Copies of this chain bind each other. A is one copy, B any other.
Amino acid sequence: MNASLSEQTLQVETLFQGKVLTLERHRVRLPNGKTSQREVVKHPGAVALLALVGPEELLLVRQYRQAVGAALWEIPAGTLEAGEQPAACARRELAEETGYRAASLEEWARFYTAPGFCDEHMTLFLARGLTQDETGAQKDEDEFLELGAFSRSEVEGMVAGGEVRDAKTLLALALWRPHTTTARGER
């Protein structure tokens, strides 16, 4: 790291400890020797899946997002449980939200969702070879989801219409090129 850019953490104050999020205020020393404050949201981390049903359709789930006041169609995703590895979380979330199992799970991208203020780190997987669980989706009692399988052109229409509008889903779509399911010899 370029030492001249680094901030030195002087003090961390926990302002709020919630069910999922923790809010902290960090006092830092800037490269010029001054001190400043940063508001930091701590998050357990998350996963998301581009889950292909056949070579030409992907699974989306629709859920109400209270933070933005709307129901959005998104790729399946979820938050890491304590000590849970991303691949295990991805398989769990896929089963819970969609009722599918994947024969193969390939790590596709790893990224911070909003590093300006939050440490949420997300792992995006490509899930292929999907088969439906006999028991169906294992949603929590208080989780309300709609499941659908859509072609690329259908999803592009949903982007244009504002039904799909979150970063992880747009990234998965942009990475999902025609060669994804053929260049590596599958199907």
* Residues on B with beta carbons closer than 8 Å to the beta carbon of A7: 64, 66
Q: Select one of B40, B72, B77, B167 contacting A167, CB under 8 A.
A: B167
Q: How far is the CA of A114 from the CA of B21 in the complex (A)?
A: 13
Interface segment among A51-59, A80-88, A117-125, A128-136: the answer is A117-125
Q: Give the shortest distance, in Å, between A29 (CB) and chain B (any CB).
A: 11
* Residues on B with beta carbons closer than 8 Å to the beta carbon of A120: 114
**A113 near B110: Cβ-Cβ < 8 Å:** no
Q: How far is the CA of A25 from the CA of B19 in the complex (A)?
A: 11
| Assembly stoichiometry (copies) | 2
User: Number of residues in A with C-beta < 8 Å to the partner?
Assistant: 70
Q: Select one of B36, B41, B119 contacting A41, CB under 8 A.
A: B41
20 pairs, CB–CB < 8 Å, chain A vs chain B: A5-B145, A15-B23, A16-B16, A21-B23, A30-B142, A32-B141, A38-B66, A65-B112, A67-B116, A67-B118, A67-B119, A68-B121, A77-B116, A109-B170, A110-B165, A112-B167, A113-B114, A115-B166, A170-B171, A171-B174
6 tightest Cβ-Cβ pairs between the two chains A and B: A174-B174, A38-B66, A18-B39, A65-B115, A167-B167, A5-B64
